[in-house]
Every structure is written in C-alpha cells, then in structure tokens.
Chain A
Amino acid sequence: MVILPGWLGALDRKLLRDIWRLRSQAFAISLVIAAGIGMVVMSFGMIRSLEATRDAYYDRYRFADIFASARRFPERLIDDVQSLDGVSIAEGRLTSGATLDIPGIAEPITTRIHSLPRAGMPRVNALVLRSGRRPNPARSDEVLASEKFADAARIGLGDTIEALLYGKKQRLRVVGTVLSPEYVYAIGPGQIFPDNRRFGVLWMGEEHLAAALDSTNAYNELLIRLERGAVGQDVIRRVDNMLERYGGRGAIPRSDQISDRFLENELAQLGQITAILPPIFLGVAAFLINMVLSRLVESEREILGLLAAFGYRSRVIMWHYAKLAMVLSLPGLVLGLMLGSWMGRGLAGIYQEFFVFPFLTYRAGSDVLLISCLITIIVVLMGAAQTVRRIGKLKAAEAMRPPVPPNYSGGIAQLIGKFKRLDEPTRIILRGLVRRPLRSILGSLGVAAALGLYVTSAGSMDNVGMMTDLLFNQANRADVNVSFAEPRDERVLFELERLPGVMRVEPVRYITATLSAGHRSRSESLTGMKPYGDLNRLVDIDHGLVQPPVKGLMLSTVLSKQLAVEPGDQVEVEITEGRRPRLALPVRRILKSPIGNPAYVDFDSLRPIMRETPLTSGAYLSVDPDKTDELYRKLKAMPQVAGFSQRAAALNGIDETVGETMGIVTLFNTAFSALIVFGVVYNNARISLAERARDLVSLRVLGYRRQEVSYILLGELALIVIAGLPFGSLFGYYLSKYLAASMSGDLFVMPFSLSVGTVALAILLVLATAALSALFVSSRLHRLDLVSVLKTRE
C-alpha cells in the first residue's frame, strides 16, 4: 500500500493505485512503446544527423556538382568550361589507377590516385587534412592518403610504399592523411561494401602524376561546382559537347556519383525502415493498452455505474481512464527517448565505419522528441479509444443490477459440450477462447506481429548471406581478378596463363558507351563476356545462372526501366572510346542483377563492332592456393596490372565490416522484437490470470492441485500463442520480402532469402518467452490468497 498525499482527489488516488496494481503490465507495455519510440528517435534522428552532416560537409568542402571524364583533354579547356553559364568553379585533374605493394600485405592493393593542383589543395572536392602536412610540390614522391585506408593498411606518416603506376615502379611517401567529400563511401570498382584495407585513394602533385602518366598539360577528369540556381543538365550537355573530341565519357551529375548515390540510398533505406517497423511496434502497443484497459473497465463496471449514479459526469470518468492509459505509457515514452538517443549515438558510430565524415554527431533535435511525444499520445488514445467510448455509454443502472454470471451459452460453447471426451478444465479453456473470439484472435495476432518482426529483423542477415553467395559463389568464382590500366591485346592472357599457380584465365572487356532509346539515354559501360565462362558468370536473382547474350544486349532491370525498353526492342549504342562507332543492338534479355546497373554484350559480336584487334580490359583467374604468394609477387611487378581484387579478401572484408555492423543493427532490432514478444505474451497471460483468478481459486478450494489449475491458465495462453505462430511466420516472410524489395534500388538488388533456421529460431524465442511469462503468471497464481478471492463477489 502506498501512502498518498491528502490533496489528491479520490479519482486520482484510484488512478495511482490502479497503476500500482497494473505495474507489471505497465512495464510490459512500456517496453513495447519504448521499442517503437526508440526506433523512431533513433532512425529519424539518424536521418537528420546524416543529412545535416552531409550538407555541411559537401558545402564546406565544395563537393562537385558535375563530374566528367575523358581520355585526355588539354588544360586550356578548363577556362572555356569556367566561362560557361552557371559554372562557379571548374577544375581539372588527373586520375589513375595504381597497385601498391605494402609491406605486410601479400596481395597488391588497388588504389586510385588523383592529382593535386599546382597551386596546392583542390578547390573542388576540397580535402580535410587529418594528420601530417600537404606534399611539398618540389618533391615528386610525397602523397596524401585517405585516412581510413592508411589506418586499415597500417601506413604511418613518413612511410614509403611501392606503387606500380602506369607501368612504372615508383616509391611514394605518405606525408598526410585526408578525408574527401568524394569518398564518404569509399568503394573499389564493382564493390558494394567498403573494404578500406584493399581499396585506397592517394593524392599527389599534378606535375609528378602528369610525368608518371606521360600526360603533361592535359587532364582526364573535370570537376564542376555550379552557381546557385544553375541548371545542371544544360552545363552537362555543353561539357559533353566540348569533351567529345577528347574521348569524353559522358558527364554525370552529383546524384550519379557513386559515393553520393550510396549515401542517398542509405538515407532512403533508413526512411523506409522507419516507415515500416515503428508503426508495427506502436500498433502492438496500442493493442496492449486496449487489452489492459478494457479488462480493467470490465472489472470495474459496477464502480463506474456507481460513480455515474453519484453524479460524476461521464466526461470526467472517460478522462480518468484516458489519463490512466497515458500515465501507464509515460515510462515507455521516457525509456524510448533515452533508448533512442543512446542507440542513435551507437548507430552513428556504426555509420562512421561505412560513411566517412570529418564529424558525425547524432542529434535527435527537439522536434524529433516532440514528435515522439505526440506519436505516443496518439497511440495511447488509439488504444484507449474503444474502451473510453464504451464508458461514455455506460448507464448508472448497471451498478444496481445483481451480479449475473457471464453468458457462455452461445452456439460454439454448446458444441464444446458435445465432445464427451473432453475433461472440464479443457472445456473451460475452449469456452473461454470462443466467448471472446475477437480478443483471442487479437491476442494471437499480437503474437504473430511480434514473431513476424523478429523473423524480419533476424532474417536480414539471411539476405546478406544470399547476396554474398550470389556474388562470390555463383557469379564471380575467380580467386583473383585483375584489371588493366588500358585495354590490352588479348595476348596478355597467355602471359597471365604462364604465371605461377594460374589454372584458368577468362577475359573481360569494358567499353564506355551511351545507350539510348527514344529520348531517353544513359551513360554506362558495356561489359563484354565470353559464353560458357566458368569464373565470371551472370546470375539473375530470380532465375540463377544465365548465359551472356548472343548478338545483342542484356540489360539490368533498372537500366531497362530507365531506357523503357523490353526484350526485342532496339537500343542505340554510341561507343565513347576508340573509333566511337554508333550502332543499334536488340535487347535479348532483361537481367535482375544483384549489383550495379550492368549492360552485357557477348565478346565475339563485340569485335566486328569495334573493328579492333581483340582487346581485353581485365581477366578472371583461378589460382592454385599454394602458389598465391608467388603469383602476387609477379603480379605486383606486372606493369599492365592497374587493379587487383581477391575473392577471399573481399569475402573477408564483407564478413568484417558488414557482418559486424549489420550484426549490431540486427541485434538492436531483434532485441526490440523480443521485447514485443514478451510484452504481448506476458500481457495475454496477465489478463487471462485476472479474468480466471476467481474460477481458478474456486478450483483450488475444490481440491484441484497447482499443476491442474495452471493447466487451465497456461493452456489458454498456449493455444493463443500457438495459433499465432503460423500467421507470424507468414507475416515475417512477407515483411522480409517487402523490406528486401524496398532496400533494393539501382545500386543493388537485395535478394530475398529466409532460412528455415531463422524462422525456427524465432518460433523458439516466442515459445521461450511464452514459457517465461507462463512461469511468472503461474507463480502469481499460486501466491493468490484463496480466502480473499472468495470473499468478494465477481
């Protein structure tokens, strides 16, 4: 008994005592509300923080609005671009691939090297100097390295690394580490997850890079900052025209820049999840409030009638219960706000693994908090609405009515009487369930929702697993993947074949092209493949392995939508390299590709088009695992090789970064879902107990043993839970599928896969939670005082 101050009105005293009495259910409801609100605060806050950070970063470090690249264009072109309408800053630079030989790492490391302007640091895509100093322009070996790469590859300031740059060996000294708005999400070519150890970015003085590339007074990349309000498309068109004769590969707006696209994609996904999961959590919370409140009001019908008879206005009584519901959920709100900000900070930490900002602080903002409060009030009122409305209709006369046992004589209840083999406790269970079918069904649905959420959260790891399988077991089965700085004569393949440990070599050819159909066009690179390859294969998410097209194109689903073409349609192909031929090719097939936006063409029909000696841009190798070290040593020395990737390392990288971080996010969601399971099951159990207490105690008085009485209480709970399992599994299946679909975009398509193990584990968790709840309530049941329960009438 709690001692309450004298100034509290009688109704408010009742309110506080009711809350004290309902504390364990309030606790369960609070957990569910906390989960929902926590998620809202975490995700909204995270979206906010990411957007604000990104905008500030892009703005302060002048992230380019337009990116263009060409084979080689003269320096003076920059002035022409600078004078275009709408252009605020135009800057040229040289960019090249290179492989590094780093002490302690066996395999060659793929890097990208950008030039630093002669004047010093870049004006567009400005760098954040994190440690060390700028390179001395007089020294040819000094470079800056991206911070995460330097950390991951353990390159210290002053360390010397060996680079193979444009076929020439060169010693480079890292004198500073930097961040760039261009590499918020730093991934190597063809990757979707960052692997900082195996992909890095370097910046070196323009003159020195130009000398290494034999490219003085020329650039191959153009970065443009637009003036406020300038139309990007106009500038892009003009720039494309200007660069065409220099081997322009089509300028792209910022929104097509790879790092920005991934960042944007992440924000969209976060928004999606926020739109789907918290409403489910909060819906469950509303349902729990409804359950608790309607049970309370039902047991207090007489008191309500009495209050009405005494002249309390129904508005006052309704307000009393609405207040009760709100106070019941207050701890959930507070807990949710705290939990959300705590997890938001944690999430910000995780994001910094993937998205590199000079600063990223999670800040929920007072409006997010305010919105959370509003949402909670709405949820609570939704949960309370039905019950409170019912109170409004209650008549004072109810109080005077003598107690009538609840009516169980309905049709199904009679039917249960026909089964002579049933024992009476089982009859009690069944009639209890069918007397309030809606409540029983809602109870089961609550369990189903919780199970579904758990399946969805835990199942997201299955999807990633499937993705990894598709990419590294089905599609790319090569142990090593090399790319050349420039397309090479196919004879290079024989050289590769002769390297130690190489067992099989398959060529691949990339050609930049602009594809158009009608008024739509996209700049993409065409990938040329050999049919019946074994190391690099095409997979369709829905149909598995697919052979490259014959005499025509195979387009990714996204690309085919962008061009609005179907199989059989013609696509205009303008090749933007070599002799820049134009031709029309038929679309043979649409491919639902797991990553990127590829367009495939078969190797052999490529040659007549290009009218060139057979060229290859890179190769897939299968390698004898015992000879890798030797092979790497040779590859590091091969001047042609500009890029290198290793399947095992890539897989490791995914396991490390994605596995760990997604693991944490999944853990959060899974913990939330477990809370919901507990909230729903425990509340069901408590309400069953409240409703059955009198019957159960009567049975105890009659000499029923504890287990026999528990059977009735827990049997009902078990049926409700078990009935929820199939629905929950189905719900989880579809929700996972929906989430996978909504996470898919033009960057990658998240395959959907749900393992039986995940569902089984989820069911096991629900059953374990149910068992725990059962333990709680049956211990309560056994603590009930036989005498005091019987003293009162129903």
Chain B
Amino acid sequence: MADPAPSRPAEDKSLYTIRGLTKIYGEGSTAVHALRGIDLELYKSDMVVLLGASGSGKSTFLNIVGGLDEATDGQVFFEGRELTALATSELTEYRRNSVSFVFQFYNLVASLTARENVALITEIADDPMTPEEALALVGLEKRIDHFPSQLSGGEQQRVAIARAIAKRPKVMFCDEPTGALDSQTGVIVLDALDQINRELGTTTLLITHNVVIADMADRLLRFADGSLIEDRDNPDRVAPSKLRW
C-alpha cells in the first residue's frame, strides 16, 4: 500500500469495512490471485472511482462487495453485518434491498420496454420511485414505452441507471458504464450518476479505464495485480459536463 489512508470524517459515516479481502481463482499451478488481501473503509454518499490496468482485480472486488461473488478469504462488513458470512439467499436479499448495479453491457431485458425494465425493480422494492420518476431522473421521460431495440446505446445505459436507482439503493456499483459509449454519450450517462449521487446521496462505486473520469469522484482507488496501490481523496470534484476526453 503506497499512500497512507487519508483523514476521514466521523466513524459513523462508514458504510463498508473490508479486511484482508482475498480472491483466488483455480488451484495449484494454475491459481490466479485476483485480490491479494485488500483492507479498506468505504463511506456513505461518496462517489468512488476505481482505476487500474486490465486484470488488476477491479471487477472482482466490486462483485464481491456487491454480493455477486464469494471471497476466498477476508471479510466484508456492510453496516456492521458480515457479508462474507451470508448464505446465498441472504446475499440475494442484500442485493434486493440495499444495492444496485450498472454494467458495461446494459443488461436490459429485451422483451420489456424502458418503463417495464424499471418496473422490474419497483415491483420488488419496499419504497421505490415510480418508473416514470426514475426515467425522468436520467432524462428519458420521452422514451418510456420504447423497447431496448429502439433505443441507442447511451439511452439503454440510462435506462439501466434508472432501473438501478429506482429502488433508492444505498449503494450503486457501476462496472465500466461508459465502456461501450462515445465520449459525448458517456458524459450524459456520467451526469446521471453524478446527479443521483448528489441529490439522493447514493454511495457510488464506479470502475473505469478513463483516468479523466476520476476528476468527478470524491475518492480514487487504484488497483494493480490484485492490490490497492493508491487511495486518495479528491477535494476538487468537478461536474461530468466539464470532463473532456
């Protein structure tokens, strides 16, 4: 670990506590050490950007913290509960009630319209927005009844963000959400994420290969070969619309 942990606000703002998080794929000579003992504290309402070379372990980290994958070793605590000790069905409840995902390839259900894709979430959430509200947040109120095949890539990704946000999750996990988009469209998508983080205080973890995007974050984590090599705060957070690449 290169940099010392930056000074942080009060302890009660802590959301995740991660201790010695390790992930090894395979066994013996073919074993891959995707994560080599990560120690980390994540805080409420932060916009965190994760950087690092391909294969450095970013997605693995995000998937474990998001409850999609299991760690080989180490612990992850979410609001004091140990995620790494939960059963599969309890992880499902965690994903259902507390967190949301946005992926590079949108993962919309092709047979549902924009509104219905969002409704997938609002139907199972406790205190959701209406699909219309969620779509309005990402500026898609006009395309509500369109199927994914009738939407552009950027629009599809914004539907995915609306779907993620509609249940008012505590945390949003975004794995290269702009990876498949051009820069202009990418900015629109990032804008939506930024706005949600500011207005609703949703903690956001965002993986990107684009260093420029780090400027819109409160905090930056850099991975290399399964280890965290940089962890720094960004006091001068800028709006996505100011970013250029």
CB of A405 within 8 Å of the partner chain: yes
Pick from B104, B109, B113, B150: contact of A695, CB below 8 A.
B109
How far is the CB of A394 from the nearest CB of chain B, in Å?
20
Is B92 a contact of A706 with CB atoms below 8 Å?
yes
CB-CB < 8 A to B156: which residues of A? 405
Q: CB-CB < 8 A to A403: which residues of B? A: 105
A790 to B176, CA, bound (A): 12
* Count of A-B residue pairs with CB < 8 Å: 106
Given A424-B119, A787-B69, do A703 and B124 touch, yes or no (CB 8 Å)? yes
A582 lies within 8 A of chain B by Cβ: no
Q: Are A409 and B147 in contact (CB under 8 A)?
A: yes
Min Cβ gap B60→A in Å is 8
Whether A408 pairs with B110 at a CB distance below 8 angstroms is: yes
Residues from chain A with Cβ under 8 Å of B145 in the complex: 417
Assuming the contacts A698-B109, A705-B92, asked whether A406 and B120 have C-beta atoms less than 8 A apart, the reply is no
B116 and A427 form a contact (CB under 8 A): yes
Q: Which residues of B contact A406 (CB under 8 A)?
A: 110-111, 149
Task: List A contacts of B116 (CB < 8 A).
Answer: 417, 424, 427
Cβ–Cβ contact B97 & A703, under 8 A = yes
Name the distance in Å between A427's Cβ and chain B's nearest Cβ.
Answer: 6
Give residues 394-435 of A contacting B (CB, 8 Å).
402-409, 413, 417, 423-425, 427-428, 431-432, 435
Chain A residues positioned under 8 Å from B124 (CB to CB): 703-704, 708
Instruction: Name B123's contact: one of A409, A424, A694 (CB within 8 Å).
Output: A424
- Contacting residues of chain B (101-135) with chain A, CB-CB under 8 angstroms: 101, 103-105, 107-113, 116-117, 119-121, 123-124
A160 CA to B46 CA, complexed, in Å: 108
Q: Is the CB of B111 within 8 A of A428?
A: yes
Q: Verify B149–A702 contact, CB threshold 8 A.
A: no
Output the residue of A402, A702, A792 with the most chain B CB within 10 A: A702
Residue A706 contacts which of B89, B99, B146 (CB distance < 8 angstroms)? B89
Q: A790 to B92, Cβ gap below 8 A?
A: no
Q: Are A427 and B112 in contact (CB under 8 A)?
A: yes
Q: Are A790 and B110 within 8 A (Cβ)?
A: no
Q: Is the CB of A405 within 8 A of B149?
A: yes
Min distance, Cβ A433 to any Cβ of chain B, angstroms: 10
Known: A417-B113, A423-B123. A702 touches B68 (CB 8 A): no
Cα distance A405–B150 in the bound complex, in angstroms? 9
* Total A residues in contact with B, Cβ cutoff 8 Å: 37
Closest Cβ of chain A to B211, distance in Å, is: 23
Query: A689-727 interface mask toward B, CB cutoff 8 Å, 1 = contact, 0 = none?
Result: 000001100111111111010000000000000000000
B177 at the interface (CB under 8 A from A): no
B108-A405 in contact (CB<8A): yes
**Least CB separation from A423: chain B residue:** B123
In whole angstroms, how far apart are the Cα atoms of A407 and B112 in the complex?
Answer: 10
Complex contacts, B103 vs chain A, CB 8 Å:
790
* Interface residue total, chain B, C-beta cutoff 8 A: 40
Q: Which of A427, A428, A701 has the most CB of B within 10 A?
A: A701
Chain A 669-706 residues near chain B, CB threshold 8 A: 694-695, 698-706
User: For residue B97, which residues in chain A have a CB less than 8 angstroms away from its CB?
Assistant: 703
Is the CB–CB distance between B163 and A702 below 8 Å?
Answer: yes
> In the complex, what distance in Å separates the CA atom of A262 from the CA atom of B105?
70
The complex places the Cα of A790 from the Cα of B69 at a distance, in Å, of 12
* B70-89 interface (Cβ within 8 A of A): 89
Give Cα distance in the complex from A304 to B242, angstroms.
Answer: 43
B101 nearest in chain A by CB position:
A701
B63 contacts partner chain A, Cβ-Cβ < 8 Å: yes
Query: Is B209 engaged at the interface, CB distance under 8 Å to the other chain?
Result: no
Verify if B96 is at the interface (C-beta below 8 Å from A): yes
A564 vs chain B, min Cβ distance (A): 64
Supposing A424-B119, A424-B120 touch, asked if A703 and B150 sit within 8 A by C-beta, the answer is no
Bound state CA distance, A402 and B152, in angstroms? 11
A703–B156 CA distance with the chains assembled, in angstroms: 20
Asked if A786 contacts B110 (CB within 8 A), the reply is: no
CB distance from A790 to the nearest CB of B (A): 6
* Of A413, A702, A787, A794, the contact of B120 (CB 8 Å cutoff): A702
State in angstroms the CA–CA spacing of A403 and B124 once bound together: 29
- Checking A413, A704, A786 against B111 with a beta-carbon cut-off of 8 angstroms, the contacting residue is A413
- Chain A positions 603-639 with a Cβ under 8 Å from a chain B Cβ: none
Q: Would you call A408 and B123 a contact (CB within 8 A)?
A: no
Convert B157-190 into 0s and 1s, putting 1 for each residue whose CB lies closer than 8 angstroms to a CB of A. Answer: 0000001000000000000000000000000000
Smallest CB–CB gap between B4 and chain A, Å?
32
**Complex contacts, A417 vs chain B, CB 8 Å:** 113, 116, 145
CB distance from B122 to the nearest CB of A (A): 9
Q: Does A543 contact B (CB under 8 A)?
A: no
Question: With the chains together, A671 CA to B41 CA distance in Å?
Answer: 62
A793 at interface (Cβ–Cβ under 8 A)? yes
Question: What residue of chain B has the Cβ atom nearest to residue A431's Cβ?
Answer: B111
Once A409-B147, A701-B68, A786-B68 are accepted as A-B contacts, the answer to whether A427 and B96 lie under 8 Å apart by CB is no
Min distance, Cβ B157 to any Cβ of chain A, angstroms: 12
Q: Does B226 touch A at the CB level, under 8 Å?
A: no
CB nearest neighbor in B for A712: B109
Q: Does B19 contact A (CB under 8 A)?
A: no
Contact B112 A786 (CB under 8 A): no
Q: Does any Cβ of A come within 8 Å of B148's Cβ?
A: yes
Q: In chain B, what residue has the closest Cβ to A408?
A: B111
List residues 281-340 of chain A with CB under 8 A from any CB of chain B. Answer: none
- The smallest beta-carbon distance between B160 and chain A, in angstroms, is 9
Contacts of A424-470 to chain B: CB distance below 8 A = 424-425, 427-428, 431-432, 435
Find out whether the CB atom of A699 lies under 8 angstroms from the CB atom of B92. no
Cβ B149 vs Cβ A703 within 8 A: no
Question: Can you give 28 contacting A-B residue pairs, CB < 8 Å?
Answer: A405-B149, A406-B149, A407-B110, A408-B112, A408-B147, A409-B150, A417-B145, A428-B109, A431-B112, A432-B111, A435-B111, A698-B108, A699-B109, A701-B68, A702-B101, A702-B163, A703-B96, A703-B97, A703-B99, A703-B121, A704-B120, A705-B89, A786-B69, A787-B59, A787-B63, A787-B68, A790-B105, A793-B105
A417-B113, A425-B120 known; 14 new pairs, CB 8 Å cut-off, are A404-B149, A405-B147, A408-B112, A698-B109, A702-B100, A703-B92, A703-B94, A703-B97, A703-B121, A705-B93, A705-B96, A790-B105, A790-B107, A791-B59
Which A-B residue pairs are the 8 nearest by beta carbons?
Answer: A703-B96, A431-B111, A703-B95, A405-B148, A405-B110, A407-B149, A698-B107, A793-B105
A residues apposed to B, CB below 8 Å: 402-409, 413, 417, 423-425, 427-428, 431-432, 435, 694-695, 698-706, 708, 786-787, 790-794
